[in-house]
Amino acid sequence: MPIALVSHCLLNQNAKVSDGAICPGIVSPVIDLLRERGFRILQMPCPEFTFAGPDRWWQSKEQYDTPTYREHCRELARAVVDEMVVNPLAVDPSAVDPSAPGTEVVVIGIDGSPSSGVDLVTSAPGWRGEPGRADAWTVVPGRGVWIEELEAEFRSRGLRPPRMVGVGMDLPGATPDSLRLDLESGLAG
Ligand code: SF4
């Protein structure tokens, strides 16, 4: 049975930064699709919420890219990989090894997020944090800090990192239904 390591906010929109939620609670169309495809769903922790709390300010990848935040992400990543190893749902030992034949482990990230982006992140290299310029960002190709550290943790255990699929929750115009389309496209790719 395939395993989906799901970004925290897909199951808990209350973790989003202010104004970032696209619906109350769970992004049901995304979770429904994973259920329809038979995935075991494991919710990952939110790296930003556990680092800076619910009232954190919007930030770019450059602002989150600090040694302290990376260490925080590494600590969470260790727990995520540990959970896969000991989770009683992973009854097939090969299920924790994404490189094992027939195993499907997919990380569902959030494109546009400076932490959880898979293919796209928020960037503002010239922004020094002035609140009045908080919208001075662009979306550029790249992995978020959390996703980079999660991949590195898999490699440090001798495991090939899982396939990464991003849904564009932190991109303009995102809706629960558009995220389902993103996931369908990502799983097909
Ligand atoms: S995108 Fe990542 S960092 Fe942002 S709220 Fe969701 S889980 Fe947390």
Tens digit of pLDDT for each residue in 71-103?
999 999 999 998 887 664 553 445 556 555 556
pLDDT at residue 134 above 80?
no
Of 5, 6, 8, the one to substitute when testing ligand 1's pocket (max ligand atoms within 8 A of C-beta) is: 8
Tell me what pLDDT residue 114 has. Answer: 97
pLDDT number for residue 100: 58
Mean pLDDT of 119-147: 90
Measure Cα distances from 40 to 32, 90, 135 in Å: 12, 9, 37
**Ligand 1 in contact with 111 (CB < 6 A)?**
no
> Residue 140 pairs with which residues in a beta bridge?
121
User: Is residue 173 scored above 60 in pLDDT?
Assistant: yes
Q: What pLDDT shows up at residue 95?
A: 53
CB 187 less than 6 A from any atom of ligand 1: no
Residue nearest to atom 3 of ligand 1 (CA): 48
Total domains in the fold of the chain: 1
pLDDT exceeds 50 at position 22: yes
Cα distances from 188 to residues 36, 37, 170, 183, 184, in angstroms, run 14, 12, 21, 8, 6
pLDDT computed for residue 92 by the predictor: 47
**Residue that has been written with the tokens 């450059």 in this structure:** 62
Q: Which of 15-24, 45-54, 131-140 has the highest mean pLDDT?
A: 45-54
* Choice from 5, 7, 58, 64 to test ligand 1 binding pocket (greatest atom count within 8 A of CB): 7
Residues 45-58 pLDDT 10s: 999 999 999 999 88
Helices (H), 37-175: 47-52, 61-64, 67-86, 145-156
Which atom of ligand 1 has the smallest separation from the CA of 9? 6
Give me the domain span that covers residue 80.
3-188
Look at 32 and 100; give whichever has higher pLDDT.
32
For atom 2 of ligand 1, the residue with the nearest CA is 116
Q: Would you state the pLDDT for residue 103?
A: 65
